[in-house]
Amino acid sequence: MVEHGVSASTQNQALSALVFLYRRVVLQPLPRIEGFTAATRSARLPVVLSENEVRALLARLRGSVHLCCALMYGAGLRVSECVSLRLKDVDLDRSEITVRGGKGDKDRRTPLPRMCRTALIDQIGRARTTHALDATHGVRTTGLTASLQRKYPNADRDVPWQYVFPAARTFTDANGVRRRHHLHETVLQRSVRAAAVEAGLLKRVTCHSLRHSFATHLLESGADIRTVQKLLGHDDVRTTMQYTHPMNRGALGVRSPADRL
């Protein structure tokens, strides 16, 4: 696999598959090989957009996709955290969003951007209307664990648990229950790629670039790195420190000697 130049994660996935095969199927666990270590991922700097680039990107998006991308940039949300927001997790009075079960199954709070407030109120109204129609046809929401359903039997039918960004279509699950999932992540991913091309951006822009930009722009504006760490939900501040590298001060914050010529 090394000869084929595959990524470290692919190599480790293949290794895990072989270990599982011998341990669970062949029932002959592989002996440990001295000096053999798992492949390590190379360090990569995040792709960060400038404020002008973010503005150009958002200007080419419409509707719920525009709102989702504005939230990913304005609140530092991952794409999965954005599309899976539930009505109960948006606090308009306190202007904050609660992310439930983020990466590492951690909860956190992040600010609700003022620029998103009006559009978000309208989106919540549309989500409530969709739920009212679904309720008459017995359509329920998704993503609730079995233990939560036992504790709150009607949770998948109650308004607070409905998605802010519901999918356009419903489906029937394995138990024959009609359900409505949230907006699929690929809808945002395709839209962001198309908008980046239309805007003429030369960087490799993804949905996660908006979260990278959120962190970098906060640090550039003077925010404390510990605060940014909490807003992003990082366990280790060293993960947050990667955003100090692409800050608008040159590489590693130094001035090029060419600027003195």
**Which residue in the list 181, 184, 208, 245 is annotated as catalytic?**
208
**Which residue in the list 103, 157, 193, 230 is annotated as catalytic?**
103
Q: What is the DSSP letter of 170?
A: E
- CA-to-CA separations, 230 to 31, 46, 93, 188, 212, in angstroms, rounded: 42, 18, 21, 25, 14
* Other CB atoms within 10 A of residue 169 CB: 8
Q: Active-site residue 203, yes or no?
A: no
* Other CB atoms within 10 A of residue 122 CB: 12
Q: Active-site residue 78, yes or no?
A: yes
**Nearest-CA neighbor of 191 among 213, 214, 172, 210?**
210
Q: Active-site residue 103, yes or no?
A: yes
Give the span between the Cα atoms of 210 and 214, in whole angstroms. Answer: 6
**Which residue in the list 66, 78, 131, 140 is annotated as catalytic?**
78
Q: Active-site residue 131, yes or no?
A: no
Q: How many residues does the chain have?
A: 261
C-alpha 28 chain-centroid distance: 40
Q: Active-site residue 234, yes or no?
A: yes
Q: Active-site residue 151, yes or no?
A: no
CA angle 182, 100, 10 (to 5 degrees): 75
Give the span between the Cα atoms of 55 and 179, in whole angstroms. Answer: 36
Two tokens, residue 4: 């084929």
Two tokens, residue 57: 């990107």
**Which residue in the list 86, 211, 212, 217 is annotated as catalytic?**
211
Bridge partners of 170, per DSSP, are: 180
By annotation, the residues acting in catalysis are: 78, 103, 208, 211, 234, 243
